[in-house]
Amino acid sequence: MKKKIFFLFLIFIYKFNIAYSQIDSSEFFQEKDTIDYLSLSLEELMNIEIVTGSSGPMNKSQYPNAISTISKEDIKNSNAFFLSSAMSGKIAGAHIVHNTGDPAGGISVRLRGPSTIFGNSDPLYIIDGVIVDNSSRNLINAISPIFNVRTQNRLIDINPRDIERIEIIKGASASAIYGSRASNGVVQIFTKKGKAGETNITFSTNVNLNIMRKKIPVNEVLYDWKNPTDYNDLERISVERYDYQDYLFQNSMGIENYLSVSGGNDDFTYFASASHLYNEGILKNTDFERKGGRIRLDKKFNDNLEISFGSTFAVSESKDMTNELHWAWQSLTGTEDMSSDEFGNYHAPENGGRWAMNPYDMVDNYKYSQQTNRYINNINVKYELVDGFSLNYVIGFDNYNQIGDSYIPIGSPIPATIGFALKPTGYTEKSNSNVSLMNSDLNFLFLEKITKNIHSATAIGYTWQKDIIKYSFVSADHLSPHVQTTNAGTLVSKNDIIQERAIQGFYFQETFGFKNKLFLTTAYRLFDASSSFGDENRFQSYPKISTSYLISKENFWQNSIFLNNINNVKLRLAWGQAGNLTAINPYDRFTNYQSVSMVENTGLVPSYVKGNNTLKPEKQTEIEAGMDLSLFENRLFLEFTYYSQKVEDLIFERNLAPSSGFTKQIVNEGELTNKGVEILVRALITKPKNDFRWDITGIFSANKNKIFTEGGIVSSSNDDNFSIVNGEAIGVLYYTYYARNEDGSLLEIDGLHYAEMGDPETGKPMRDEDGKPTGVLLKKVNGDPNPDFTASFINQFDYKNFTFRFQFDIVQGIDVWNWNRRQLEHVLRRQGPLNGEELLFQVQKGTSQQQSGSGPLIREEYTDDASFIKLREISLNYRIKPENYIKEVNFSIAARNLFSIDNFKGADPEINAGGQDNIVRGSAVGVTPIPASFHFGITANF
């Protein structure tokens, strides 16, 4: 549906008295240039770090919200290829999950917990004022999207070496400027720019080695049952076992080269870079390659006008693996040699039933890939109309085309009954996604010195945004020999989708400062609107108020004994509201129709989801209170924040009676809460004497999420393991559990355990005359994939030209559904460690089969504790400054994910097959483990 686009010419007249002296904006707002964070004291860090969540750069010591900042030094020391990985463990209040260990694997970020069910809880990402897309689109295995195992986040297109700093604003109370799209928080990324002076050239090359840190535990006993399904027959036979992991996984290499040139004069500066990255995966025949570059130009035409231009391009390609590899995960070991014969032919496993596949064939012959071309451009105009009164206009574009190709050759030994996309007659599919985002932001800022002690900053602005997504898909089977295109087979499925969404909004913000110690900010979002919602509830408004008080600047504090040990104290309080304009797709409010074939014609039938034109945006209300302290001559900095969020009018699908003609309807119902604390500690252990400095940073975050609905069980995920349950956190593990005795011990009859059964109405367990469970299978909450708390601990030592640094990440109180282990233990495969214990008569024969599905599946058994303490980063850098043309050379050696302390019954507790899904948050199924990696690099500045 075409929509007219109206460009707003905003005329803003502000009455003010020009008789006042010229405003020194540095007292209220500060400009930011490149900063050497290593040379700063904690007091300087507290005051110099600034944010742009207001209409202009603002001193952090004055800001009323908790702000996290990641410097270019933090990014460089992480030795991460991707920006999302570099953020791990450096943000208070963030839970960052590495979804997979694939070389282009995605990541999910939650700031202060999940904030929606139907939409996306990831924050808003902005690069130099451009709103950028970071979604995970399923473009391979599209006909069988059991999980989002092989999806990519588009942040992988951004080279971390181009980044100057990252600023993270959390919560609805934090920013009025970015509106309801920022209800999940904002991650602002600022790229490097040139500086006046001589030309600076930087070249770096890095080599990395990836290894599989830990194998998935399997059955290694050299026996098997002669009759596996008869629990009374204990006769064994000798067998030879093959660990297929030795073939599937490999040590892999990667290399990255980077070149940048920057410089300029007082009126014009420039920055340009080019890079190439190639990284192999630890899973055989997977890799990722990225070629890209960036240009940043800044021109000062006169004292009033400045214009900057930025452009980023990236071309990437990845070799991936089928989602269906998780079926091969159940065959990581076996009694058959699965390698090909002398003619290159593979055979299907003799044991394992219709779900078993040949893993060697899958990694050798299946061809799955994704290709992306992306451009991000922005123009920023700053114009000072009169002293203290300026405008800022930003127009930004983010456009990328992503293609996914999938191919299974003819003759692949796959059981014909397996279904899904896997067919022995050959199969191919092609997906094409074109995503275009545009934002146009106009802001006016007026700074005025009202009296000697009172300053004001008034901001007013308007934003207009447009999203266009075009997606097409086609698949075919029964292919012609050696041909991989869809026109060489029989059409299986096709799809073609276009989605368009427009968003607009105004804002007004007023900030007063009194004696540079007390600050009050009020803001109002006006007419926030998204075309996804109907006219009745399209326009919404949201208020915000906040204050900060630097009590340590009071005279009584400066003249007291407190000043000796407590140097700076800031109190913060903020309240605000925001909506969620992107929680539904552009046409979800309508009753949509689907095309069907009718003889030689095409017809339309309504979908199973009933439309609802009265849907309104979810509304989030947040209050945040905190305190910042610097102590002991500013060598210790403490930041404490408490927050409480409440999200009303949640959007999700409610089941309907079949008599309505529909099965579901999207509705507003229920509410969600997040309550938590964030603690940041920075300490300078030693004073910078004798060329030695020791810094420690500690971060602690805890969040409690709950959802409240009118019904008991509202909905569940597509695999029926993750559910929305009234009074529980989003995505709890709600499924069958062990039958227990009255004292809580497991019910055991003839050496076997059973799933609990009983009355479905009351949930009360029932027993038959033999004492075994009877009735229907009962379910309960068995675990929570949301952590109790996360933490990180960073140490950095600087001595002369050496820098040594390490970072531990801690995640505690988190559960996952370990589908991999369940599949290994199934009676048809018998490849799990528990099967080996049975063969050694350490447990009753049939134990694994009883709980894995021969009897009713006891899903509680596969709820694993995924808590961990992981060495995320460790690095050593040495700098030298040669003579002549080389300014500095830096040598680095580093490692990531070197070891993990955990009790997880698998390879890695951190993986998540659900990707960015809001409900599926802890699923270990067919996901490549996160590798340990070693990096060796040289960087030279000329």
Residue 151 has pLDDT above 70, yes or no: yes
Q: What is the pLDDT of residue 766?
A: 95
Taking residue 575's Cβ as centre, other Cβ atoms within 10 Å add up to 17
pLDDT tens, position by position, 413-448: 765 444 444 457 888 889 999 999 999 999 999 999
- Among 81-95, 104-118, 171-185, 869-883, the minimum mean pLDDT is found in 171-185
Q: What is the pLDDT of residue 768?
A: 93
pLDDT tens, position by position, 582-609: 888 888 899 888 877 777 777 888 888 8
pLDDT band at 393 (very low <50, low <70, confident <90, very high): very high
Q: What is the pLDDT of residue 533?
A: 92
Helices (H), 317-429: 325-328, 359-365
| 891 or 423, higher pLDDT | 891
pLDDT tens, position by position, 294-308: 999 999 999 999 999
- Among 479-488, 565-574, 680-689, 908-917, the minimum mean pLDDT is found in 908-917
Looking at residues 133-147, what average pLDDT do you find? 70
Residue 873 has pLDDT above 90, yes or no: yes
Cβ 729 vs Cβ 720: under 8 Å: no
Residues contacting residue 297 through CB under 8 Å, at least 6 positions apart: 268, 269, 270, 271, 308, 309, 310
Cβ 154 vs Cβ 400: under 8 Å: yes
- Among 19-23, 89-93, 252-256, the minimum mean pLDDT is found in 19-23
Residue 174 has pLDDT above 70, yes or no: no
Residue 630 CA, distance from chain mean position: 32
Cβ 389 vs Cβ 348: under 8 Å: no
- Among 133-142, 420-429, 682-691, the minimum mean pLDDT is found in 420-429
Residues contacting residue 733 through CB under 8 Å, at least 6 positions apart: 721, 722, 723, 781, 782, 783, 784, 785, 815, 817, 859, 863, 922
Looking at residues 790-799, what average pLDDT do you find? 94
Token readout for 417 is 């009954």
**Cα–Cα distance, 324 to 367 (Å, whole number):** 13
Residue 366 has pLDDT above 70, yes or no: yes
Mean predicted lDDT score pLDDT of the chain: 84
The one-character DSSP state at 641 is: E
Domain layout of the chain by residue ranges: 25-212+249-337+364-580+609-736+784-814+866-941, 738-777
Give the class (CATH, top level) of 25-212+249-337+364-580+609-736+784-814+866-941: mainly beta
Q: What is the pLDDT of residue 411?
A: 79
Residue 372 CA, distance from chain mean position: 19
Q: What is the pLDDT of residue 28?
A: 40
Token readout for 853 is 């599905």
The one-character DSSP state at 332 is: S
Helices (H), 227-307: 245-248
Q: What three-state secondary structure class fits 785?
A: coil
Q: What is the pLDDT of residue 9?
A: 31
**What residue has token string 């700053």?**
382
pLDDT tens, position by position, 897-917: 999 999 999 888 988 777 777
Cβ 768 vs Cβ 774: under 8 Å: yes
**Cα–Cα distance, 524 to 541 (Å, whole number):** 7
Cβ 28 vs Cβ 455: under 8 Å: yes
Residue 130 has pLDDT above 80, yes or no: yes
**Cα–Cα distance, 336 to 200 (Å, whole number):** 60
Residue type, 418: I
Residues contacting residue 165 through CB under 8 Å, at least 6 positions apart: 69, 70, 71, 72, 190
**Cα–Cα distance, 128 to 377 (Å, whole number):** 9
Residue 225 has pLDDT above 80, yes or no: yes
pLDDT band at 512 (very low <50, low <70, confident <90, very high): very high
Q: What is the pTM of this model?
A: 0.89
- Indicate if the alpha-carbon torsion angle 917, 920, 924, 926 is positive or negative: negative
Q: What is the pLDDT of residue 360?
A: 87
Looking at residues 451-464, what average pLDDT do you find? 92
Token readout for 668 is 């507003």
Q: What is the pLDDT of residue 355?
A: 55
Residue 363 has pLDDT above 50, yes or no: yes
Out of 68-77, 660-669, 766-775, 912-921, the most confident range is 766-775
Q: What is the pLDDT of residue 362?
A: 85
Looking at residues 506-532, what average pLDDT do you find? 91
pLDDT tens, position by position, 271-292: 999 999 999 999 999 999 999 9
**Cα–Cα distance, 150 to 132 (Å, whole number):** 21
Helices (H), 376-447: none
Cβ 663 vs Cβ 189: under 8 Å: no
pLDDT tens, position by position, 75-126: 888 888 888 788 888 999 889 888 888 888 878 888 999 888 887 788 999 9
- Among 50-54, 526-530, 576-580, 719-723, the minimum mean pLDDT is found in 50-54
pLDDT band at 11 (very low <50, low <70, confident <90, very high): very low
**Cα–Cα distance, 666 to 669 (Å, whole number):** 9
Cβ 268 vs Cβ 300: under 8 Å: yes
pLDDT band at 799 (very low <50, low <70, confident <90, very high): very high
**What residue has token string 């036979």?**
237
